[in-house]
C-alpha cells in the first residue's frame, strides 16, 4: 500500500506559475525553515523530491543549505526539474559584498545556479545588494530575483520595484487564511510580481 501511494505521488503533475521574466516556477514547495542541518534536512528534502515536490526553499539564515544541496544532488531528479530558492541575509548586502556572498552560497549548495534568490529582509544596503543580484542574473548564477518581507512599508518596496533595472519576479511574505494580505495581493498584481506565501497554512 505504501509503495502504491508513493508511486502515485511521484506521478502527480506539479502546477507552475509564469514569472514576469518568462520563467516557470513550481507553485507548491517545501520550506526548510527550522529544520536542523544534517540528516533531518537531508531526509526531508530527499523524501519530498521522491514524493513529487519540485520546489525547495531554504536560506543562508536557516543554516541548512549544504544538506539541501546534498539531497538535491543525490535525489536522482535532474537538476533542471528542481526549483531551488534561497535568501541572502542583510549582513551580506552591498555591492561587491553580495556578489561574494552569492558565490559562497553556490558553494554551500553545491550547484551551478539558484533558481530564485531573495533579499531576506529590507534592512541595510539592500539597493547595493540588488545591483549585485542583477549582475548574478546576467552571469547565469541566478535565474530569478525577488524580495522577502518587503511588506514593511511602501517605501522599501518602491526602492526596488520602481528604481532598479530588473523588477522582482516574486515577493515572499506571510500570507495564509488568517492573514490574507489583500492590499499586497492587489499591489503585486499591478506590478506583475508573484506573491509567494510563507506560513501558507496558518
Nearest of 34, 18, 25 to residue 53 by alpha carbon: 25
Q: CA–CA separation, 133 vs 125, rounded Å?
A: 13
Q: How far apart are CA 53 and CA 85, in angstroms?
A: 13
Angle at CA 74, nearest 5°, toward 3 and 110?
150
Query: Residue 52 gets which letter from DSSP?
Result: T
Cα separations in angstroms, 68 against 41, 44, 93? 6, 9, 23
For residues 109 and 111, give the distance between their C-alpha atoms in angstroms, rounded to a whole number.
6
DSSP assignment string, 99-161: HHHHHHHHHHHT-S-EEEEEE-SS-SSHHHHHHHHHHHHHTTSEEEEEEESTTS-HHHHHHHH
Is 118 an active-site residue? no
Assess contact for 64 and 35: CB atoms under 8 A. Answer: yes
> How many other β-carbons are positioned within 10 Å of the β-carbon of residue 71?
24
List the catalytic residue out of 53, 62, 93, 126.
62
Tell me which residues are annotated as active site. 62
Amino acid at each position: 500500500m505504501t509503495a502504491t501511494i508513493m508511486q502515485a505521488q511521484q506521478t502527480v503533475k506539479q502546477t507552475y506559475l509564469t514569472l514576469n521574466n518568462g520563467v516557470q516556477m513550481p507553485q507548491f514547495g517545501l520550506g526548510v525553515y527550522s529544520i536542523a542541518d544534517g540528516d533531518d534536512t537531508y531526509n526531508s528534502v530527499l523524501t519530498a523530491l521522491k514524493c513529487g515536490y519540485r520546489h525547495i526553499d531554504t536560506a543562508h539564515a536557516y543554516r541548512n543549505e549544504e544538506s539541501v544541496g546534498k539531497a538535491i544532488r543525490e535525489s536522482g531528479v535532474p537538476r533542471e526539474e528542481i526549483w531551488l530558492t534561497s535568501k541572502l541575509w542583510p549582513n551580506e548586502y552591498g555591492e561587491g559584498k553580495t556578489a561574494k556572498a552569492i558565490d559562497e552560497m553556490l558553494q554551500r549548495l553545491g550547484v551551478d545556479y539558484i533558481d530564485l534568490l531573495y533579499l531576506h529582509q529590507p534592512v541595510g544596503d539592500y539597493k547595493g545588494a540588488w545591483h549585485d543580484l542583477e549582475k548574478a542574473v546576467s552571469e547565469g548564477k541566478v535565474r530569478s530575483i525577488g524580495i522577502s518581507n518587503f511588506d514593511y512599508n511602501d517605501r522599501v518596496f518602491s526602492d526596488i520595484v520602481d528604481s532598479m533595472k530588473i523588477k522582482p519576479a516574486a515577493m515572499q511574505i506571510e500570507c495564509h487564511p488568517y492573514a490574507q494580505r489583500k492590499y499586497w495581493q492587489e499591489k503585486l498584481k499591478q506590478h506583475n510580481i508573484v506573491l509567494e506565501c510563507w506560513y501558507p497554512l496558518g
